[in-house]
A and B are shown apart, each in its own frame.
Chain A
Amino acid sequence: MSATIARSRGLAAEPGVLVLAALTVCALFVFVVYPAVRVLATPGWDEALGVLARPRTWQAARHSLVITVLSTTSSTLIGFAFAFVATRRDMPFRDLFRVVGLMPLFAPPFMVAFAYILMFGRQGLLTNHLLGLDVNIFGWQGLWLSQTIAFFPLSTAIIQGVLEGVHPNAEQAALTLGATESAALRTILLPLAWPGVIGAMLVVAITVLADFGNAVVIAGNYPLLATEAWFMMDGLGDLQGAAVIVSILLVPTIGLFIASRALLNKREFTASGGRGAAVDQIATPPFIKWSAVAICSATSLLVLTLYAAILIAGLTRQWGSDWSFTFRHWADTASHMDAVGTSLLIGALAGLVTAGVGQIAAFVHSRPIPLRGLVGLLAVLPGALPGVFIGVGFLLAFNAPPLELADSIWLIVLALGFWHLPQAYQSTSAALGQIHRSIEDSARDLGASELRLIVDVYAPLLSRNLLAAFLQCFIRSVSNISVIVFLISPGQVLVAYVILQMISGSDWSGAAALTTVLLAITFCCVGLLQAALHWIGPATRGSQA
């Protein structure tokens, strides 16, 4: 903020920057606004009313609402426990919970539901094979469990940020004023954490509403808005109907998105904190301590079950009937290497789009030029759009002239690249604010043009950030389901799509083996990222003011 103000005091922008800004605005209009407008404008009144009159539409809307309330509540509760454990120094197994609490983030979007079918379903390893039970996990219960485990890390991250902002001295002050430890936590820490808890709930609710991967795998005969849109298109060939459904879905997600941004921007309560010495933290009362540890332990078991299920299933001859060990399915993944290759290519290109556009948009936003506010708004807008909305939008917008991209991988690349833009833009924007203005001034002083700054100053200083944005988009794009199911053309094969087909065709071991490949790629990327960040690290840190 202050960095932006400082910069806006500078000279008027150079023409080159204005051209760049104009190009950025154009790109955002074409690839963010235009598809959204097409979704909202395409269905005629008759079509829209027809879809609204279907009882199934209302059933799906009701289900989406119910599951959102359930999954958001449980995810936030568990997320709070993990955040609490991570921020108290006297918690046992703290480092273990920290790692396990991140693991669901690396699971492809359909994996949690798939793994729980493998473990707890009718032919589940635990429920049926070991315990001899006949459990039906398909439906809202299974979806609730899957979404809870898949999305609690999102709330952990947000709540942890807020808890870390609470200065330990505040708790100590409460003690010296006569509060017991549990009263101090109740009257000081909890009220201060509230904005984070609410913020986490809003973010998780958006994610749950938009969740396609888990729903399509485990919801069974439980229609939801996100899956209903696909059913309309894939089952009924009704693209307009799908557009109506995703438009309905947009109403709550936009509302939640606006609310979350308003709330998380209002930081006055936590801003006064700053970090104190961890040693000054008061002792956590035993009851609270062990309750949190119990919640985290139970959740951790479920998280580890996820990965165990995929690994075991990929090495099992025939899930449910022949439990003998085999490498056959792993070997068979070789026949899908073209799908893996295409997915990797798409992921890499989408990552480049996200990182590149994200950096340019953040740079343009930091300049004192007209339309900078618009750029900022459009760059975060995709965060409010569910994947199925993006999918339908790109299909409507770019399937026919004037901008025809159908049958080329660019349709999917641009959809995924622009959809993941908000994270890249926001982290780059924040990092940009950290770079001291004097660095820019001295570069200008030495003769660099304003545009030249991007290449000479910002790109190198933001390399950490750009790499992280690239890889985040890459990982999520390679395993994406919700967008690609709408955009994949008959000739194309993408690994996530292939897995989905194998799951629905009951080739569970094959699907698990291919998911293992996807996980291996993901963890390789994370490892590479860590190594690369370690390598770039010191140079960037020194630059920050």
Chain B
Amino acid sequence: MSILTQPIARVAPGVPSTASAEPHARLINLCKRLGPMLAVDHVSLDIPRGGITTLLGPSGCGKSTTLRLLAGLYRPDAGDITLDGESIAHLPPNRRRMTMVFQEYALFPHLTAAGNVGYGLRRRSVPAAQVKSRVGEMLELVGLSAAADKYPHQLSGGQQQRVALARALAVDPEVLLLDEPLSNLDAKLRVRLREEIVRLQKVLGKTMVFVTHDQEEALSISDQVAVMD
């Protein structure tokens, strides 16, 4: 369905690139068929370490599917995915050290903000005391310390997305995947939260892959933009 062009733009060239010569993650000739549709058709892309790479394209171009292939939520029909030079295409999502922020946040409605943020740590059997301090740290990072005991339905859309960010970052992933994380927010909040994401990236130095259909959004936050059509 779609072919990925080479990375076309390097935004903010003044910023010293944190990317080393070796890419952090690589997509190599990935293909994925969803039903009758070839959603991802021979996509290759190098994702540099410690920067924001954006997949930009119209809806239906396969960018979200590509992200899900990276996360391990879909298995590729062909091609390979490597992380630090090692193939991870065979690994289930829970062993990939990549976490994802979903378009609809996908917060767990029965858990508080703190419960959501601590979920991944508890799955890794981190001791309760450490979970608590890490959760506090993460909520502070996204400015939601006061909302720790609130349930998702008691939070605004922007707050929910911050919890989702904190939750994904709490387990200290190698790569953070963001699937149109801002599209359910109003215009003003969208700008604020995308600045927040850039700030978090700078503070934590994480490798991020960001999917969007919004060209301005892509250009304003990315270190590298890959256009899919």
Which of the listed residues A177, A178, A273 has the most CB atoms from chain B within 10 Å of its own CB?
A177
Give me 7 A-to-B residue pairs in the complex whose CB atoms sit less than 8 angstroms apart, sorted by A's number: A172-B73, A174-B123, A269-B109, A271-B153, A272-B152, A279-B34, A279-B35
- Given A172-B73, A192-B109, are A177 and B168 neighbors across the interface (CB < 8 Å)? yes
| Residue contact A269 to B110, C-beta cutoff 8 Å | yes
| Residue contact A173 to B109, C-beta cutoff 8 Å | no
A180 to B72 Cα, complex, angstroms: 12
Given contacts A172-B93, A175-B72, 11 further A-B contacts (CB under 8 A): A169-B104, A173-B106, A173-B167, A174-B119, A176-B94, A176-B100, A178-B171, A268-B153, A272-B107, A279-B34, A282-B73
The contact of A179 among B102, B123, B168, by CB within 8 Å, is B123
Over the window 136-157 of chain B, the binary record of Cβ atoms lying under 8 Å from chain A Cβ atoms (1 yes, 0 no) is 0000000000000001110000
A24 to B164 Cα, complex, angstroms: 50
Q: A184 — nearest CB in chain B belongs to which residue? A: B94
Q: Which residues of A contact B106 (CB under 8 A)?
A: 167, 169-170, 172-173
| Residue contact A176 to B71, C-beta cutoff 8 Å | yes
A401 at the interface (CB under 8 A from B): no
A268 to B110 Cα, complex, angstroms: 9
Over the window 108-142 of chain B, the binary record of Cβ atoms lying under 8 Å from chain A Cβ atoms (1 yes, 0 no) is 11100000000110011000000000000000000
7 tightest A-B contacts by CB? A177-B120, A169-B106, A178-B123, A173-B106, A175-B93, A176-B100, A272-B109
| Residue contact A177 to B123, C-beta cutoff 8 Å | yes
Q: Using a CB–CB distance below 8 Å, which chain B residues touch chain A? A: 34-35, 71-73, 92-94, 96, 98-100, 102, 104, 106-110, 119-120, 123-124, 151-153, 167-168, 171, 177
Q: A174 — nearest CB in chain B belongs to which residue? A: B119
A453 to B110 Cα, complex, angstroms: 42
A173 to B107 Cα, complex, angstroms: 8
| Residue contact B151 to A176, C-beta cutoff 8 Å | no
| Residue contact B73 to A280, C-beta cutoff 8 Å | yes
Q: Which residues of B contact A276 (CB under 8 A)?
A: 104
Q: Which residues of B contact A188 (CB under 8 A)?
A: 108
| Residue contact A176 to B152, C-beta cutoff 8 Å | no
* A59 smallest CB distance to B (angstroms): 42
| Residue contact B109 to A172, C-beta cutoff 8 Å | no
The contact of A177 among B119, B151, B152, B153, by CB within 8 Å, is B119
* B74 smallest CB distance to A (angstroms): 9
| Residue contact B73 to A167, C-beta cutoff 8 Å | no
A120 to B96 Cα, complex, angstroms: 54
Q: Which residues of A contact B35 (CB under 8 A)?
A: 279
- Given A176-B71, A176-B98, are A273 and B109 neighbors across the interface (CB < 8 Å)? yes
Q: Which residues of A contact B71 (CB under 8 A)?
A: 172, 176
| Residue contact A175 to B94, C-beta cutoff 8 Å | yes
Which of the listed residues B35, B123, B151, B168 has the most CB atoms from chain A within 10 Å of its own CB?
B123
* A180 smallest CB distance to B (angstroms): 6
* B157 smallest CB distance to A (angstroms): 11
The contact of A172 among B100, B152, B153, by CB within 8 Å, is B100
Q: B100 — nearest CB in chain A belongs to which residue? A: A176
The contact of B102 among A173, A183, A187, by CB within 8 Å, is A173
Q: B118 — nearest CB in chain A belongs to which residue? A: A177
* A264 smallest CB distance to B (angstroms): 16
| Residue contact A175 to B73, C-beta cutoff 8 Å | yes
| Residue contact A178 to B124, C-beta cutoff 8 Å | yes
